[in-house]
Amino acid sequence: MSDQSNRPATNSDDGIITVLGLGHIGLPTALGFAELGRQVLGADDDKQKVARIRGGDPIFFEPGLSELLSKHLASGRFKPVDDVEAAVRAASIIFICVGTPQKATGQADLAQVEAVARLVARNLNGYKLIVEKSTVPAITAQWLRRTLLRYRSARSPMMADESSPAADFDIASNPEFLREGRAVEDFLHPDRIVCGVDSERAREILAHLYTPLNRPLVMTDTSTAELIKHAANAFLSTKISFINMVADLCEKVGADVTAVARGIGLDQRIGPQFLDAGIGYGGYCFPKDVRAFIYLAEEHGVDFSLLQEVERINHRRVEVFVHKVHQALWNLRGKTLGVLGLAFKAGTDDIREAVSLKIIQALRDEGSILRLYDPQAMANTQTVFPASTEGITYCTSALEAARGAQALLLLTEWEEFRQLDLARVKEVMEVPILIDGRNLYDPEAVRQAGFEYVSMGRDGAKSTTPGGSSEKLTA
């Protein structure tokens, strides 16, 4: 039990919002509500994490988050606490932002969600709106309601009947659509806000809560809201695998996938977002949510083979990229390769399910010597590949990663890499080969800088050797 100085005041009528879980979703959510003028308790049972956040350290890199944390620690509108039970009792609205990791089957592991539900049930002391923010499969809200009634009933048999006035809570679903690298921006300026509710009271509370954002509000039932989140991530993953599939064909027929993507993306029915060919999607959300969606469909006898193919195409991107490295260098054993980018995407230090790490492992298996650099994800990567790992060197800059390399591999689309002085990079490399897994560079500009250039879905359209012809190949 925490000491008294770390316990929030207990008053269920003061409009306090409690956010349970201070990770990549919980902390931006808590600080976002503080920015909207609400009093927010950020609760987590990890005492060390809470202490660091209380000291102004947001734990992970997210643009704008550190500044927002400092602002609202000073304003007093945000208070990090590790007395989770007291934070529940103090709240009128509770947001559940705990992890929903994946089981080996692909099923979402909801053990943390259930544990939070039991804790909340034991500390209900008046009406509370309990909101799922974590990504969960459809009908999780029904299980939450059942769990809350069961464990509140265990504390007091008079609370067992959901229709009774004593059952003083509502469950709502308010899925997050926060992109890592843009989480603060996405909270304050969302495309839309999805709220699943099963009572008019919950509807009014959430509508009022989000009024300051003045954004489209999609109100539906809880199961539909839960499904919207998985469907959105599955659709975006499908777009990525689709354009990567097209990229492979472009290389065979001498087309340019970036032009194809522009040509179809200008169609308003399609849109340009998520049509960037490359090494595939990674991160904590897309891989996990696609698998969980497939599992949910199989559980209910629905054919989701389309998403199974989306997964297969994405998994194959590692093989496709490593094959390109082979084509450029022939044998890889003993070759020194500079690697630019370790995070699963630009704007974050998150390496969970990062395709870059799978490529690094595949190259290590081939016996390559790797020089790694990322602006933010170096420390996290060292938890997977320690600095003492044979054949791996962590570098202090992109230029240092390129030094002595026989090829430079671009794996994360950081703006810093786009601005590289390619002439200077060429000077420090043993062999000027650039293999661009994100199509970050203009092919002609890279060739003019004296590089052999390999990219994704554009290699059939033009010669990739310095001074080569720019004419398209003919079938």
- For residue 362, how far is the Cα from the chain centroid? 23
Is the model's pLDDT at 321 over the cut of 60?
yes
pLDDT category of residue 168 using cuts at 50, 70 and 90: confident
C-alpha 133, offset from chain centre: 14
Instruction: Output the pLDDT for position 102.
Output: 84
C-alpha of 150 from chain center: 34
Digit-coded pLDDT (tens) for 447-462: 999 999 999 999 876 5
pLDDT interval class at 108 (50, 70, 90): confident
Quote the pLDDT of residue 107.
Answer: 85
User: Can you read off the two tokens belonging to residue 423?
Assistant: 């002439």
Query: Three-state secondary structure along the chain?
Result: CCCHHHCCCCCCCCCCEEEECCCCCHHHHHHHHHHCCCCEEEECCCHHHHHHHHCCCCCCCCCCHHHHHHHHHHHCCEEEECCHHHHHHHCCEEEECCCCCECCCCCECCHHHHHHHHHHHHCCCCCEEEEECCCCCCCHHHHHHHHHHHHHHHHCHHHCCCCCCCCCEEEEECCCCCCCCCHHHHHHCCCCEEEEECCHHHHHHHHHHHHHHCCCEEEECHHHHHHHHHHHHHHHHHHHHHHHHHHHHHHHHCCCHHHHHHHHHCCCCCCCCCCCCCCCCCCCCHHHHHHHHHHHHHHCCCCCHHHHHHHHHHHHHHHHHHHHHHHHHCCCCCCEEEEECCCCCCCCCCCCCCHHHHHHHHHHHCCCEEEEECCCCHHHHCCCCCCCCCCEEECCCHHHHHCCCCEEEECCCCHHHHCCCHHHHHHHCCCCEEEECCCCCCHHHHHHCCCEEECCCCCCCCCCCCCCCCCCCCC
Give mean pLDDT, residues 356-385.
Answer: 97
| pLDDT for position 100 | 86
- The residue length of the chain stands at 475
The pLDDT assigned to 176 comes to: 94
Which pair of tokens denotes residue 271? 């849109």
8 Å CB contact between 286 and 179: no
**Cα 244 to Cα 317: distance, rounded to the nearest angstrom:** 8
- Among residues 250, 113, 131, the alpha carbon closest in space to that of 195 is found at 131
- How many whole angstroms separate alpha carbon 313 and alpha carbon 320? 10
Q: How far apart are CA 98 and CA 77, in angstroms?
A: 21
How far is residue 408 from each of residues 12, 340, 369, 457, measured CA to CA in Å?
58, 7, 12, 18
Helix axes 305-329, 286-299, angle to 10 degrees: 140
Q: What is the pLDDT of residue 165?
A: 44
Residue 285 annotated in active site: yes
- pLDDT above 90: residue 14: no
Amino acid at 426: K
Q: Average pLDDT in the 296-314 region?
A: 96
Q: What is the pLDDT of residue 380?
A: 97
Confidence of residue 223 (pLDDT cuts 50, 70, 90): very high
Whether pLDDT at 2 is above 90: no
Q: Are 405 and 371 in contact (CB under 8 A)?
A: yes
Q: If we measure between CA atoms, which residue out of 143, 194, 188 comes closest to residue 173? A: 194
Average pLDDT over residues 71-100: 96
pLDDT for 9 equals 42
DSSP strand pairing (193-197 vs 169-173): antiparallel
Alpha carbon distance 145, 168 (integer Å): 11
pLDDT at 343 over 60: yes
Say which residue, 299 or 162, is predicted with more confidence.
299
Sign of the Cα torsion 74, 75, 78, 80 reads positive
pLDDT in tens, 240-295: 999 999 999 999 999 999 999 999 999 999 999 999 999 999 998 999 999 999 99
**What pLDDT was estimated at residue 154?**
62
Q: CB atoms < 10 A from the CB of 326, how many? A: 12
Asked if residue 282 lies in contact with residue 463, where contact means CB atoms within 8 angstroms, the answer is no
Judged by average pLDDT, the poorest of 9-13, 142-146, 162-166, 346-350 is 9-13
149 with 160: CB under 8 angstroms?
yes
Interval 414-437 mean pLDDT: 97
Looking up tokens 């974050």 gives 348
**pLDDT confidence of residue 418:** 96
pLDDT at 4: 40
Please list, in sequence order, all residues whose beta carbon lies within 8 angstroms of the beta carbon of residue 264, skipping any fewer than 6 positions away: 270, 275
Least confident interval from 20-24, 158-162, 387-391, 422-426? 158-162
Asked whether 402 and 339 are in contact (CB, 8 A), the reply is no
> CA-CA distance, 353 to 147, in Å (whole number)?
32
Give the residue-averaged pLDDT of 364-369: 97
Q: Calculate what percentage of the chain has a pLDDT beyond 90.
A: 85
Q: Which residue has the higher pLDDT, 460 or 16?
A: 16
* pLDDT for residue 106: 83
What would the two tokens of residue 216 be?
Answer: 């489209």
Three-point CA angle 12, 13, 15, nearest 5°: 95
Q: Answer yes or no: are the C-beta atoms of 456 and 257 closer than 8 Å.
A: yes
Residue 459: the pLDDT is 83
Residue from 129, 99, 103 nearest 114 by CA: 99
Question: Does 471 score more than 60 pLDDT?
Answer: no
At 437, the amino acid letter reads: G
Query: Is there a contact between 236 and 276 (Cβ–Cβ < 8 Å)?
Result: no
Residue tagged active-site, from 97, 195, 250, 285: 285
pLDDT the model gives residue 161: 46
Please state, rounded to an integer, the average pLDDT across all residues of the chain: 91
